[in-house]
Amino acid sequence: MKLHWSPRSPYVRKVMIAAHELGIADRIETVRTVVRMDTPNATLLPDNPLSKIPTLVLPDGSVLFDSLTICEYLDDLAGGSLFPRAGAARWRVLTLHSLGQGLIDLLIYWRNERDKPAERQTQALLDSYAIKAEATLDRLESLAAELRERPFAICHIAIGVALSYLDFRFTHLPWREGRPALAAWHAEFEARPSLRATEIVDA
Ligand SMILES: N[C@@H](CCC(=O)N[C@@H](CS)C(=O)NCC(=O)O)C(=O)O
């Protein structure tokens, strides 16, 4: 299996954490693929017309994206339990995943806006991202006990990766302050071997 990959992408990191948790990381050949919102990657377009990573190409040439779809495929392939198969547990895990994934999306948009020259920034967007991020972090603090109790699943990966991405790109944001339960849960998450094997780096 070939994975269009980058060491900087939190979405790619979700896939690689899942692969490590499932014990099948060695079956994935990572191919460094550079993507930018303003520059479609011509090499990637035949596999993914959206020019986004992660994109997984199977040996038979079929292609899977985005990160949620790839993670569920890997879980199915390995006979894992990152995705409850049915019932209330499945909807809860997927909804919690959406919260983590939504936080990642928000942080990416926020960073894009923040890194523009000051005269091109839209203050209303910056304010909105800050409010939504705080509200999401407060919600996650109230959910920390549930995260701890629930069997490790795709929602833990998405939420944990979002928090780690905060540490990577928003070092000035003291998200742990006033959120001791979330901070403690995240410290345990970061100690997992799958996290150590997938450090996010600016390379
Ligand atoms: N919803 C997608 C998001 C993937 C995504 O936006 N990846 C970024 C890299 S961090 C990307 O490919 N950006 C290039 C672009 O948007 O053109 C997923 O979960 O895989």
Span from the CA of 14 to the centroid of ligand 1 (angstroms): 12
Rounded Cα distance, 97 and 116, in Å? 29
The CB-side HSE value for 62 (13 A sphere, CA atoms) comes to: 4
42 token code pair: 């011509």
Ranges of beta strands (E only) in 149-192 are: none
Residue 203 pLDDT class (50, 70, 90 cuts): confident
Report whether pLDDT(125) > 90.
yes
Residues 6+ apart with CB under 8 A from 166: 107, 173, 175
Tell whether pTM > 0.95: yes
Nearest atom, ligand 1, residue 8 CA: 10
61 Rama class: left (phi>0) / alpha (psi -120 to 50) / beta: left
Rounded Cα distance, 151 and 193, in Å? 17
Q: Is the CB of 67 under 6 A from ligand 1?
A: yes
Residue 108 pLDDT class (50, 70, 90 cuts): very high
Q: What is the mean pLDDT of residues 20-38?
A: 97
Instruction: State pLDDT tens for residues 31-79.
Output: 999 999 999 999 999 999 999 999 999 999 999 999 999 999 999 999 9
What long-range pairs does 172-179 form, CB within 8 A, spacing at least 24?
A: 173/133, 175/137, 178/141, 179/137, 179/138, 179/140, 179/141, 179/144
Residues 6+ apart with CB under 8 A from 137: 103, 175, 179, 182
- Provide the angle, in degrees to the nearest 10, between the axes of the packed helices 123-149 and 87-114: 150
Contact status, residue 102 vs residue 143, Cβ threshold 8 Å: no
Q: What is the mean pLDDT of residues 145-168?
A: 98
Q: Which of 13, 35, 72, 108 to mutate to test the pocket of ligand 1 (most atoms within 8 A of CB)?
A: 35
Residue 83 pLDDT class (50, 70, 90 cuts): very high
140 token code pair: 């996650």
Span from the CA of 202 to the centroid of ligand 1 (angstroms): 16
Q: Is the CB of 30 under 6 A from ligand 1?
A: no
